[in-house]
Amino acid sequence: MNAQDIRKQYLAFFTEREHTVISRASLALHNDPTTLFTGSGMQPLIPYLLGEKHPSGTKLVDSQTCIRAQDIDEVGDTSHTTFFEMLGNWSLGEYFKAEQIEYFSTFLFDVVGLDPNKVYVSCYIGNETFNIPRDEAAIAAWQKAFKARGVEATVVALGSAQDGDKHGMQGGRIFLYDGKENWWSRAGDEEHTPVGEPCGPDSEVFYDFGEHLHDEAVWGKAHPANDSARFMEIGNSVFMAYRRTEDGFSELPSKNIDFGGGLERIAAAAIGSHDVYKISLLWPIIEKLQSISGKKYDSHTTSMRVITDHLRGATFLAVDGTVPSNKEQGYVMRRLLRRAIRFAFELGVEQNFFEQIVPVIADLYADDYPEVAKSRDDVIATLIKEEKVFRQTLRKGLKELEKLKSVDGEALFRLYDTFGFPVELSTEEAFKQNITVSENWRAEFDACMKEQRERSQTATKGVFKGGLGGQTLIHKKYHTATHLMYQALRDVLGAHVVQRGSNITEERLRFDFSHPEKVTREQLDQVEKIVNEQIGHDLRISYAEYPTKVAIEEKGALGQFGDRYGETVKVYKMIADNAEKPFSFEICGGPHVDHTMQLFEDGKKFKILKEEASSAGVRRIKAVLV
């Protein structure tokens, strides 16, 4: 089965078992201050795993596109990608461990056709300190699944991954690890699970690509949680059974299943290749790169993998409404595109690059994701525009290089950091122009990169962690104020104003919207006045769920550009007592306060601090409650 077949069959498999297919969430998140992107399949489902009722029921299935920007420097090996699809199924208080393991094992072995002799699993070993038993139910379910296919599943208790490196496989099929490997919470193992958090053991599934991929002298002895390329994790079932308390852990009255399986990795296992770039969703891009460059994948592997991954991710970001910029989601998108161009130079491709590759990517997904087909031309135009801009930047970098008589690693880093000038291109041009290059340029450059990365990690600590965030009262107040300002902007500037993004912290709100020119101070004052007046009316805030078409076309609910919705949506209404119609009526997932006068607590008022350009045709406002 190819990757497209696996996706279709997975959705069909769970549909036959009474699951409802839900639409994927947008890659770019605008209302969660803790993260820039949808980084896992479960991220959009967290409110429902915490107890909120899902409009589509209690058994759900999907394929969720994801971006993990923190993996960008790892791309180039056989398994890392910044963009990937996560197959997911969820039970919200319905079935639990035995049924989940039966479902997934049946899908892997009987539908995809994986050889059970090459599949290994891990389960939770238990924790005596917190009085949490080892996961006997999951162990028994996996033994049953293997036995039904003629495989004896011996259980080996390894404990930590480091212990596994010392002791190895020992003839095992089911391996028991501690909480660092087989415990799920948003913050880590049992000890670090915050009070109040839902959590529980998990069971991971690994595919064995062969002993030849494991070097014991480098990695220690082989076992599934080892870091060598031999074993690849292809799926993980989280058994959300507990909640952390002040005294330890208590069992949840309603237990949930959260499963995530990497589509690309399952597809790689299906074809028996540990190189995920050989699968049907990636190899056609590689083939096109070979065609236009005249180079071979085997001799330019890293360059072709980086280009393939980065352009795939950037294409889907564009589909979901993100545009290249120097801030947040747009910055990551720009970095992906410019890294792709950088590696294209290594292939000798220096013009008309994106317009040849992006259509190949769009064609791979158009049949299964209609939004890709619908936005194809706009996406290609957006990416081509960025390519032209960057090539102009490269020319500026060349001129800057020509001014230098010698360059060291720090100078090369400045060219890279300021102009996005590829360091390999810098050194090549320096040699061409007889500019002296420091013998230690690489070490010096790497040291600068390391320093910047450390600064970046410090500055963005927590930004890429998935999960629920922004639930404090001040977040709710700013979220509510954003709704009011959105409608006030439309009242003052016109109905062409459409939300293009937002970000909320405990200090301020930020709101991006479509508008062709600078908003005058007089107009901002008018918006500010309307928002404060509406807050003073003490609007009541409530929500109702509607079929998406009814909410948008019949009810006139506002949405956000680039957002995608399922069959039903939650619409928040802000209305004054005795008013005939609401002031704000907007599709949103929350959170909000109950009534607007809460925004005026402690004598605060709504104030717009700044208005500026965000990108072409998009303006940005920052506002506070002070």
* Percentage, residues of the chain above pLDDT 70: 93
Q: What is the pLDDT of residues 12-53, one digit of tens each?
A: 999 999 999 998 888 887 655 567 778 787 878 877 887 788
Q: Which amino acid is at 622?
A: K
- CA nearest neighbour of 8 among 281, 208, 288: 281
Q: Which of the given ranges, 210-219, 407-416, 428-437, 454-463, has the highest pLDDT on average?
A: 210-219
**Domain(s) of CATH 3.30.930.10: residues in the chain:** 3-277
The per-residue pLDDT for 326 is: 67
- CA nearest neighbour of 623 among 498, 460, 513, 467: 513
Distances (CA, A) of 421 to 135, 328, 401, 413, 425: 52, 21, 10, 9, 7
- CA nearest neighbour of 261 among 155, 121, 142, 144: 121
The per-residue pLDDT for 348 is: 85
Give the separation between CA 588 and CA 488, rounded to whole angstroms: 17
At residue 471, does pLDDT exceed 80?
no
Give the separation between CA 231 and CA 533, rounded to whole angstroms: 61
Q: What is the pLDDT of residues 152-162, one digit of tens each?
A: 999 999 999 99
Mean pLDDT in residue range 463-490: 74
**Domain(s) of CATH 3.30.980.10: residues in the chain:** 473-625
- Give Cβ neighbours of residue 44 (< 8 Å, ≥ 6 apart): 25, 38, 64
Q: What is the separation of C-alpha 177 from the centre of its chain, rounded to a whole number of angstroms?
A: 27
- Give Cβ neighbours of residue 286 (< 8 Å, ≥ 6 apart): 277, 297, 304, 308
Q: What is the pLDDT of residues 552-610, one digit of tens each?
A: 888 888 876 555 666 788 899 999 988 889 999 999 876 788 899 999 988 899 999 99
Q: Which of the given ranges, 79-83, 103-107, 446-450, has the highest pLDDT on average?
A: 103-107
CATH class, domain 473-625, is alpha beta
Give the separation between CA 431 and CA 563, rounded to whole angstroms: 48
Phi, psi of 142 (to 5 degrees): -70, -40
pLDDT band of residue 104 (cuts 50, 70, 90) is very high
CB 38: neighbour CB atoms within 10 A?
24
Span 3-277 CATH architecture: 2-Layer Sandwich (3.30)
The per-residue pLDDT for 461 is: 38
Structure tokens at 612: 């500026």
The per-residue pLDDT for 324 is: 85
- CA nearest neighbour of 159 among 133, 181, 137, 131: 181
Q: What is the mean pLDDT of the chain?
A: 88
Give the separation between CA 596 and CA 238, rounded to whole angstroms: 38
The per-residue pLDDT for 141 is: 98
51: left (phi over 0), alpha (psi -120 to 50) or beta: left
Q: What is the pLDDT of residues 211-233, one digit of tens each?
A: 999 999 999 999 999 989 999 99
Element (H, E) at 199: strand 198-208
Alpha helices in 320-465 (DSSP H): 328-346, 354-365, 370-374, 376-402, 409-419, 423-432, 441-459
